[in-house]
Amino acid sequence: MRKPYPDDLTDKEWEQIKPLLTSSTYRNAGRKPKHSRREMFNAIFYLLRTGCQWRHLPHDFPPWTAVQGQYSRWKRKGVFHMVHDYLRRRLRILLGKAEDASAGIADSQSVKTTEKGGLRAMTEVKKSRVEKGI
């Protein structure tokens, strides 16, 4: 058992997302995984929090190649989006709101540019001295 990092999932947090990692998102076929899903999540959270490179992942986590491979599989299967959506819905319920937002706000900004613009047909093509007859 390793000493926990500040970014590690607590037991309560892990129990919230553990059911999401069912056979639909995690293969049950073949041999038993060498590293726990929780340790993989903890390693990914460590990478996200610290910004360290894959190869600089501390040695008390699973090997960086295993973590990177698991991250790629989970990303491809949409596991992170699924966990995010699940936690967002749970939070909205705890706050007494509807599970899904009923409206969204989009903000746009107009920026004035310093470049001279205009239609191409309206801009005169410069002619050489020979063409002008000079």
Cα distances from 118 to residues 112, 115, 123, in angstroms, run 14, 10, 7
Question: In this prediction, what percent of the chain has a pLDDT beyond 90?
Answer: 52
How far is the C-alpha of 10 from the C-alpha of 42, rounded, in Å? 10
pTM of the model: 0.68
- Whole-number average pLDDT of the chain: 84
- What's residue 2's pLDDT? 84
> Binning pLDDT at 50, 70 and 90, where does residue 85 land?
very high
